Amino acid sequence: MPDLSVTLCGVRLDNPVIPASGTFGYGREFAGLYDINVLGTFSFKGTTLLPRLGNPLPRIAESASGMLNAVGLQNPGVDRVIAEELPALAKVFHKPVMANVSGFSIEDYAETCRRLDACEQVGWLEVNISCPNVHGGGMSFGTDPGMAAAVTRAVKAATTKPVIMKLSPNVADIAEIARACADAGADGLSLINTLLGMRIDLKTRRPILANTTGGLSGPAIFPVALRMVWQVARAVDIPVIGMGGVSSAANVLEMMMAGATAVEVGAANLVDPFACKKIIEDLPDEMARYGIRALSEL
């Protein structure tokens, strides 16, 4: 039987398949469909220090081989996640979970991570630095090496958990951002977040999304994501989680051959809620097809 196990920042996973943040909620809905303990782990919904209602509707627009979203980080806030979502999750998921954290200031990031650090269920902190810096003119933290490093240092000082910085692809040189995070103490990196895009309604002559622009995800971005994972894996000496358009076991193997230690699956979960389960079930046959006995070999 092929060995699907991998080790991510010192924590063993039964397999490398991880539903991506924003596509799996806090796990409970999917637990009603299948036993989510088959997953390596999952990254829960992007969580902020305070509750957020998100952006106005419409928030979703379809496109060829993908979709745009401008949800706006709607979530109940970290305190309710700790008090309500994590205890409910513990009843159906018996592995460490990845906590996805967003913020609008360095202090936001650090405080949210500090509160989650006390939660035994949380195995890793995945820090989304694609958020706008409200104290810095709205520029995304992830587009400037100095700001990316500052968030990394602040979060590392606030937690004992492994810190995985989630990188934006909307930059000129993603390897430069990756090196800045690694040099600031990041334990791992995940990439890519969504690509910035938009759609226009020809009848109204207006953008479809109320936010005008949104993040493009889905199979359309897979080649871009694969290239960036390849670049970053060669630029740093810390684990990389690959994501972006992954929808099959073959895509998982490609990501790992490009340098990823584990692989997140995003938009595919919105098309088929059983997508991750099917990918895990397909991995042994796909490995056998290419003579791969253990994923750790890759």
Instruction: Tell me, yes or no, if 131 is annotated catalytic.
Output: yes
The two three-digit tokens of residue 182, written as one number: 């690694």
55-94 pLDDT per residue, tens: 999 999 999 999 999 999 999 999 999 999 999 999 999 9
Q: Which of 9, 113, 131, 181 is catalytic?
A: 131
Percent of the chain scored above 90 by pLDDT? 95
Q: State whether the Cα torsion 102-218-19-180 is positive or negative.
A: negative
Contacts of 206 (CB under 8 A, 6+ apart): 200
35-51 pLDDT per residue, tens: 999 999 999 999 999 99
Give me the pLDDT at residue 244, please.
Answer: 98
Residue 31, Cα to own-chain centre: how many angstroms? 19
Residue 201 pairs in a beta bridge with 206
Range with the poorest average pLDDT among 119-128, 130-139, 199-208, 218-227? 130-139
Hunting for tokens 């790992």 — which residue is that? 256
Give me the pLDDT at residue 229, please.
Answer: 98
Give me the pLDDT at residue 136, please.
Answer: 66
Question: Which one-letter DSSP state was computed for residue 68?
Answer: E
pLDDT of residue 185 exceeding 90: yes
Give me the pLDDT at residue 131, please.
Answer: 80
The bridge status of strand 17-19 relative to strand 262-265 is: parallel
The two three-digit tokens of residue 164, written as one number: 């995985």
200-231 pLDDT per residue, tens: 999 999 999 999 999 999 999 999 999 999 99
Ordered by where they begin, the domains of the chain are 17-279 (3.20.20.70)
pLDDT of residue 137 exceeding 80: no
pLDDT of residue 139 exceeding 90: no
Q: How far apart are CA 102 and CA 109, in angstroms?
A: 6
Give me the pLDDT at residue 138, please.
Answer: 63
Residue 126 pairs in a beta bridge with 100, 164
Q: How far apart are CA 156 and CA 86, in angstroms?
A: 22
228-287 pLDDT per residue, tens: 999 999 999 999 999 999 999 999 999 999 999 999 999 999 999 999 999 999 999 999
